[in-house]
Amino acid sequence: MVGKERAFESIKEAFASSRADMTEIVLISERDSLTRFANSEIHQNTSVDDVTIMVRAIDGTREGWASTNQLTPEALADAAARALEMASVQPANPDFPGLAEPAQYEDAHGYDETTAAFGPMERAEAVQSIIRQADAHKLNASGALRTRVREIAVANTLGVCAWHVGTDASLVTVVMESFEANAGSGYAEAGAMRVGDLDFQALGARAVDKCIASMNPVAIEPGEFVAVLEPSAVSTAMEMLAYMGMNGLSFTEGRSYASGRLGAKVTSEMVTIIDDWRHPRMAPLPFDFEGVPRKRVPLIQNGLAAGVVFDRAIAARAHTKSTGHAVPGGEEKGGYPIHLAMATGISSVEEMVAETERGVYVTRFNYVNPVHPTKTIITGMTKDGTFLIENGRITKPLRNLRFTESILDGILGSVQAISREAELIPALGDGGLYSAPAIKTGRLNFTGASA
Amino acid sequence: MRELEIALSAARAAGATYADVRVVRGAEEQLSVRNGCVDQASSGSFSGLGVRVIVNGAWGFAATGCVDEAEAASVARKASDIARASAVARKHDAALAPAERVVAEWSSPCVVDPWSVPRARKIDILREACAKAMASGADVRIANAGMRAIDEEKTFASSEGSFIAQHSVITASSVSAMAVGGGEVQIRSYPGTFDGNMRQAGFEWVESLDLPAHAGAVGSEAQALLSAEQCPSMKTTLIIGSNQMALQIHESCGHPVELDRVYGTEASYAGTSFLTPEKLGKFRYGSKHVNLYADSTIPGGLGTFGYDDEGIASGRSDLVRSGLFVGYLMSRETAAALGTSSNGAMRASGWDRMPIIRMTNICLEPGRESLASLIRGTEDGVFVDGIRSWSIDDRRLNFQFGAEIGWRIRNGELAEMVKNPTYTGITPEFWGSCDGVAGRDEWVLWGVPNCGKGEPLQIMRVGHGTAPARFRNVKVGVGRW
């Protein structure tokens, strides 16, 4: 890791070498360690140390970007020169809003020494605790345990100077009866700022139990069903919604579900989704990659479209202010929510099942992608534990089903119950952690089934 | 490079029975214009070193962005420590199929160095393409045009004595138009989705694409889609265009023939495969018209190289021959488990990732038809093209894909345009219904830059050679619209 002092020394050196009118630098230093297991043994085990420095050079109203992963004075000077070169070839941009002004940031308390120091042997032992449970039932365990420590520094020549060090950890496990078609399969996943908050034994037990319960599944005719969705499935729906419509650029260009509909009903009134970096147990990050303090942004409030997130450039275009959601590198314009949380309800999963005459219980969705972004239609498969609910109880495991459904009009538009408890679920890629409860929806349209 | 020797020595001293090391250095330039304004102008440089070892029969990998002699030794020792930890949860020793010792150099073809072309000229091309796309439809709200260039040098050395230097230059350029109106958003892209059609070539590839000449059609089709009828829901004959066929092959053939998936090592993330080893040489994957192969030697292909990241030479191998499943994409370890030798499909997305099995150029062999003859032979059906949406189950059987654009086919002729076309099927049933593939004249080599697999995630560049093909009795227009 680079450390705060060296990070800002390097940034100062780069500022000194920059000939741009204004310069912004984002430095991300990361140790990313991941132990992967399959067939109940560790087969891939990695640890990567890297630092990324992104330089934004401003020449009048034109901006150019350059990056390097070398922290030497020569590499930084070269990046600063390349950024200015990239700016200089452009026509003037009258909409350029300038760089962020200095701000005060809240303390985030996002660092956990135990997580930062969690080594390969500790990861191996954690993984072993899951494998042993699978072995005891002659099942096949696979998954990944990841720990990460990350330093982020954002500074610009107007005086912005933000620094944060944080940790996070996640575990995903799939326990399978075999690789045959329609074999039993179970799943558990969790994310946290502290690795100590991950209960490996309990997560392994959950996946094993679900695998056993899902053996010998039966086929049902696809169609529209009431469905109880576990937090993993709800988190995926939230992630898709964020991708398709919670971004300021898609909003201003009329491509978002929220475009022209702020204040309008878009889901059941039971649904509230916010982006809140202070949400309990989240891996906090108090500023964005332009150095703007992150705001708590209600996205859907009691079923009404309440807002989207913005970075500075798109906020200026929309005649509003940045919400502090800029992403690094300037590639994805408009901002992105990385601390999504759906408000919890008053029900329990058991109550949701007990109050369902006929429905489908879904552990998770797999390989979900948008079909039609403005209509928020997505498709994907159920996986690792799909069950039939009949007369208030789970009666039998089901073969996996393909669904094609609108998140807003269907899944979240027909919410009948939300659980009291939420789980912290790692989003795909580097998308952060989402807090998701279980829900019962009156509408999930199944359009196919596994072979 | 002395860092490689030092890393290998340090790995041996730390108990490694096998080690390989890669040093990767490179640069990338990205330019994009959105609605006439420069949206992105970035220049990146990167370098790093990754060491992979076997200690006590188990794998370890460590990597650093700092390439110097001290760090090379330190990273090799770290990889060895990680491997020792892996051995705690090991049930069998890692075994590698034999590999020849190789000392070689390889370079991709490049006529015009993309860094030699003035950026102002590149931006002029993009702005012209944008302007033409915008001018082609009243409701075209967004026109995007972009260019990418990547220059990458990779040096590989192994404890078995191989030492390989490879140099690759990659370029891409594309234009897309987005029409917005009446609750609809419709997009058309040229030459295809995902950065257009990325290729290992110099700026001559960008010139040959001639974005401004095609931008008008992109805009007018996006505009026309807004008022097109919704693709009907029915079982019918489906003709898939060349660009969409790249997706079809990628998801339903390229991934299921990856032998690591077959053996379960991607089970918790990318999934497994229905093409299990007992099916090799016996399973009917498709009709007699279906011939699929992997070829990492095609000039310009995004899955083309001299040697993979285990030092195995590139080559061509059959995957499906006259409909019969006959081959896998393999690494040295999975090939050993199958009792054969690797066909060189092991690649890492960068210095910071452990190599895993990746597609090379997975291609559909041209047939004897043409797109025109396929349409002529269709009384009633749908023709679709332009990748838009994709999902497939974890064993690669139940898929549902969407395309940017479609047309009804009536009485052997293209009829009205349809929007939001989707189709679904079960892989072997679908390929089994193929009754015609277009010929060499309509075969296109596509570069796909965004294949995701592995944890931590690896985004890989792969290639697909495709021609339009026809499938009978396919469910199209899936879902409620």
pLDDT tens-digit readout, A318-356:
999 999 999 998 777 899 999 999 999 999 999 999 999
pLDDT tens profile B302-343: 999 999 999 999 999 999 999 999 999 999 999 999 999 999
Contacts with B, A 362-421, CB within 8 Å = 366-375, 377, 379-381, 383, 400, 402, 404-406
pLDDT at A372 over 90: yes
CB-closest option in A69, A82, A329 to B65? A69
Helix (H, G, I), strand (E, B) or coil at B472: strand
Amino acid identity at A332:
E
Of B60, B356, B457, the CB nearest to A45: B60
pLDDT tens, position by position, A198-238: 999 999 999 999 999 999 999 999 999 999 999 999 999 99
Collect all residues of chain A within an 8 Å Cβ-Cβ radius of residue B142: 253
Q: Measured between beta carbons, which residues in chain B are less than 8 angstroms from residue A44?
A: 59, 61, 265, 354, 356, 454-455
Residues 149-178 on A with a CB inside 8 Å of B are 172-174, 176
SS3 A203: helix
CA distance B128 to B280: 51
How many angstroms away from the CA of A406 is the closest CA of chain B? 9
User: What are the start-end ranges of the E strands in B84-207?
Assistant: 103-107, 140-158, 163-181, 184-190
Shortest Cα distance, chain B CAs vs residue A294, angstroms: 24
A371 CB neighbours in chain B (<8 A) are 389, 400, 402, 420, 422, 479
pLDDT tens string B64-99: 999 999 999 999 999 999 999 999 999 999 999 999
Neighbours of B91 (CB within 10 A): 12
Q: Token pair of A100, please? A: 């962020």
- Say whether A36 and B480 touch across the interface (CB within 8 A): no
Distances (CA, A) of A138 to A131, A333, A437, B265: 10, 49, 32, 17
Tell me how close the Cα of B145 comes to any Cα of chain A, in angstroms.
Answer: 14
Tell me how close the Cα of B106 comes to any Cα of chain A, in angstroms: 26
Distance CA B96, CA B44 (A): 36
Instruction: Compute the nearest-CA separation of B36 from chain A (Å).
Output: 10
A431 has pLDDT over 70: no
A174/B267 touch (CB, cutoff 8 Å), yes or no: yes
For residue A294, what are the β-bridge partners?
none
Per-residue pLDDT at B481: 79
For chain A, the helix, strand and coil percentages under 3-state DSSP, each to the nearest 5: 25, 40, 35
Give a three-class secondary structure readout of B332-385.
HHHHHHHCCCCCCCEECCCCCCCCEECCCEEEECCCCECHHHHHHCCCEEEEEE
Identify the closest residue of chain B to A173 by CA–CA distance.
B268
As a whole number, the mean pLDDT across chain B is: 97
Look at residue A329 in the predicted model and tell me its pLDDT. 84
* pTM higher than 0.95: yes
Tell me what pLDDT residue A89 has: 85
Tell me the per-residue pLDDT of B180-190, one tens digit each, with 9 for 90 and over: 998 899 999 99
Report the percent of chain B where pLDDT is more than 90: 98
Q: CA-CA distance, A198 to A202, in Å (whole number)?
A: 9
Query: Contact at 8 Å (CB) between B405 and B384?
Result: yes
Q: List CB contacts (< 8 A) between A49 and chain B.
A: 63-66
Percentage with pLDDT > 70 across chain B: 100
Q: How confident is residue A429, by pLDDT bands cut at 50, 70 and 90?
A: low
Partner-chain residue, chosen from B60, B84, B265, that has the shortest CB–CB distance to A38: B265
Considering only CB atoms, B264 lies closest to which of A125, A140, A144, namely: A140
CA distance A187 to A171: 11
Position A91 scores a pLDDT of: 86
Residue B184 and residue A265: Cα distance in Å, rounded? 19
